[in-house]
Structure 1
């Protein structure tokens, strides 16, 4: 029955045309143009731009007839954050049998305190823990049951290399390879500080990318009473790592080889690391925007399909060619505009699907998926009752494509439905071109997946209609090298919105079909998120 529903919406009739029950590229354009305008000053978290952006989104939802689903009957969900910026007086020193070796901030190391305290001092034994991974599902444990409370943990990013899809995803990076996991695991084990030794091959990007990101203010969700954060979460340059490892008589390459062995055990480095990490702290009162359209089925309306996009960007920052407003037109005014247009269309349906729909616009994606993490912990609909999350993050203004990207959908029981809906929309499904980069773990859908919700991002492919072969790859690389996280990511009236309309319609149709399925979807057997899904469905 639900297939017939979406087919009706796709192929349509005069009623659909007159009632405007399909997402419109020109309406998407209107939203992008405002959200990416200079008036919003780059939509920085905790700024005037945040207030304007979130007020606009809420006003649009109200106009569409979407109900508020935030705090106290409003569209806003408060997200308490703490910003932390390491002060220039910070010091880090390696001390061993042969003397002391100071490390220079922003040259040898870069990082900040996650303790949310202004002064952070420590002097502790350094222990090398390989990749810093404990993954029982892959039979891997770098910690081997050793107590490392109060230590400084040292490790590499990434994960053990493999081509076996059943072992850390083969070439594809899993969450265990991400720096976020490494720091979380170190904190869980009571470490006082944690240091990642950077190499370009293990990180997938150069040292300049690390220093550029980590020399700025870093934000975290506000710690709850009793929670403790690391006194230092930092990266070391490869040269600094070599100095640290010198006491073992081994090189960075040799220690990496040891780390790639399943038999690896934590290795004391024979040195102490002392840190004095003063930080400037700032309370940031930010907010998500949340709306809801109730479902038609009395029993299933308590369940929901979730649509998400992040509204934030980088705000006002270092000027480039005289422009200091980082407008974030592609990233991610486009995603917000698409979700707004899906919300408008959904609310206008004369007959609603069985399940409800929640429309979520999150803060602080650029600071580490913090808004979506907060929503996952404080949801409008519990994870065990949320059918799926369809996320939109950075759509391109170059026209329609023959393909769609839905990386991660193949890991869910929705895969057959996704394939069918793509086929009916005349779209092929493009594979992830860079699985080793772990893109799945770098957008807001990941926060929802972590609590068990089947989640993935919908994006255009690269096979553009009416364009020569290679065009899609060329414009994608041009955006990433010249405009990504730059002031030049700006809206232009020359933009072709056909691709955004196409993705909005595909996402709308897929969401309708999910909302009308007889049972809730899940993750496939053996997936890393299946246990979280089972736990959420049991209500535990």
Structure 2
């Protein structure tokens, strides 16, 4: 992440008059309320992919888009099939570690979670697998960092720390971006690398601060039905088992091997760290799998452009959530996902409605509701690999995920501020509201890698993603931070993320207008916003646009 503006971005800002002026049409909050209330109701069963909840959600969205006069975007179809495999672990035995000073046995759900990416294995068993602590589990040749150097983990169980080695830094510079998480800190990367190294099982140590969420989120997200991308070989190259254990249990495991987790963690933060075998300790686990292959769907709605219809601007949001999950004390076991992400999905409908009322733009506008974000950005990743509209002709766009109901704010928090020239468009829209863009207050949480904009960025398409600001009009930054903590601790990925008729929509209204003005400006201009010079995605974009 960069905290300063590039020369190109300053030039765009200096030419503010060239950016589209605000339109006279405002997106409807009443439309958003209708959609959020509808698709986050219990009737939609938490909108898990491959369920009745998916069928109802997509049918409802098609009805709304069709009524607005939008066109089905995929060669006459509203949908893009996304091949997924639903895997539900059953008969999960405790995760046992033997051979140490004290046998360790961890119970499923309360102390550990386990799953698999392998899609053709009705039974998974890892028996007496030697255990190795591999620090942060990173192999980054460009940074001269390899936690797997000099160790063979093939057929073994690796224990991995979450986040990056320098996540506790106070500044945004260091081997892995300092306080800002890189992709090397994400659990998806750690499991990918462990599989590439041949590990039979990969277990991440959960720690609330570097993970950015409590064990309750791990438990609700990693138990029950899981979705993975389908593949021709059934993901045979993946580790047999992946999962998480609580930090206290990891500490007990290390103590059983005569080691200290804190000492090992400190050593793992330094370049040149060497993986540490837990001498004599072996891991065993087993579970059955209910496996169901199915085709979930991305929804693709199109508002054709009037002058350059073969150039596209994206509005994206994920429609899915977790379905049924760990029950709350009152017995409620439906994760309704009202904030995450019925709000973003509803924003798609409200933005489409506003754009229809304002009239077609020069470029085509695509309203893309993607599946399986909660399973690792699977729907957007599939679109990125199989684009309905050529990515070389996709100008950019906005991604909307979990709009804030904390009330009006003086700012917005931009995820990835300074990475692309789309910042100029946002700054222009913010100026009209007398608001400002702020850097992430918690860059160590790695939000840039946790929503669907990342799938497009990997293919060179710049996407703007921001969150509701924390500098609230009522209460300032302290109130904003308090509201964010309250949501994360009590509703995020839990059954109480439900529609509330008492929500304050004024902050959402202002943010929705920003998305509208940015998208409208992008859709009426002739320039192609790029990544800032030196950004990790710049070369991909330059290559895709080289012959244009």
1:331 pairs with 2:335? no
Partner of 1:522: 530
Structure 1 residue 177, shift from structure 2 partner: 0.8
C-alpha distance in structure 2 between counterparts of 1:235 and 1:221, whole Å: 20
SS in 1 for 2:429: helix
Contact map agreement 1:45 1:364 (CA 8 A) in 2: yes
Q: Describe the superposition over 1:81-122 as per-residue Cα deviations: whole angstroms up to 9, x where unpaired.
A: 222233234354435487975554345532112212111233
Aligned ranges 1:31-110 → 2 under 5 Å: 31-70=35-74, 73-96=76-99, 102-106=105-109, 108-110=111-113
1:128 pairs with 2:133? yes
Aligned ranges 1:239-388 → 2 under 5 Å: 239-242=248-251, 244-246=253-255, 249-271=258-280, 272-298=282-308, 301-317=309-325, 318=327, 320-321=329-330, 323-353=332-362, 355-388=363-396
Q: Describe the superposition over 1:356-410 as per-residue Cα deviations: whole angstroms up to 9, x where unpaired.
A: 2211112222333222222222222233432223111122345543322222142
Cα 1:208–1:346 shift into 2, 3 Å? closer
Partner of 2:434: 426
C-alpha distance in structure 1 between counterparts of 2:485 and 2:266, whole Å: 33
**TM-score, scaled relative to structure 1:** 0.87
Partner of 2:221: 213
1:154 pairs with 2:162? no
Unaligned residue ranges in structure 2 (runs of 5+): 1-11
C-alpha distance in structure 1 between counterparts of 2:517 and 2:496, whole Å: 33
Q: Describe the superposition over 1:476-528 as per-residue Cα deviations: whole angstroms up to 9, x where unpaired.
A: 44433433344443334444433323222211111222334444333223434
C-alpha distance in structure 1 between counterparts of 2:337 and 2:499, whole Å: 9
Stretch deviating more after TM superposition (486-495 or 109-118): 486-495
SS in 1 for 2:232: coil
Contact map agreement 1:5 1:513 (CA 8 A) in 2: no
Cα 1:295–1:308 shift into 2, 3 Å? same
C-alpha distance in structure 2 between counterparts of 1:474 and 1:430, whole Å: 17
Aligned ranges 1:500-515 → 2 under 5 Å: 500-515=508-523
Contact map agreement 2:172 2:180 (CA 8 A) in 1: no
Structure 1 residue 222, shift from structure 2 partner: 1.7
Structure 1 residue 239, shift from structure 2 partner: 4.4
Aligned ranges 1:459-498 → 2 under 5 Å: 459-465=467-473, 467-469=474-476, 470-498=478-506
Structure 1 residue 207, shift from structure 2 partner: 4.1
Cα 1:435–1:58 shift into 2, 3 Å? same
Cα 1:532–1:195 shift into 2, 3 Å? farther
C-alpha distance in structure 2 between counterparts of 1:304 and 1:246, whole Å: 57
C-alpha distance in structure 2 between counterparts of 1:515 and 1:145, whole Å: 52
Selected match of 2:116 from 110, 113, 117: 113
C-alpha distance in structure 2 between counterparts of 1:319 and 1:207, whole Å: 14
Contact map agreement 1:85 1:216 (CA 8 A) in 2: yes
Partner of 1:17: none
C-alpha distance in structure 2 between counterparts of 1:496 and 1:260, whole Å: 43
Partner of 1:16: none
Contact map agreement 1:88 1:105 (CA 8 A) in 2: no
Contact map agreement 1:458 1:507 (CA 8 A) in 2: no
Stretch deviating more after TM superposition (168-177 or 288-297): 288-297
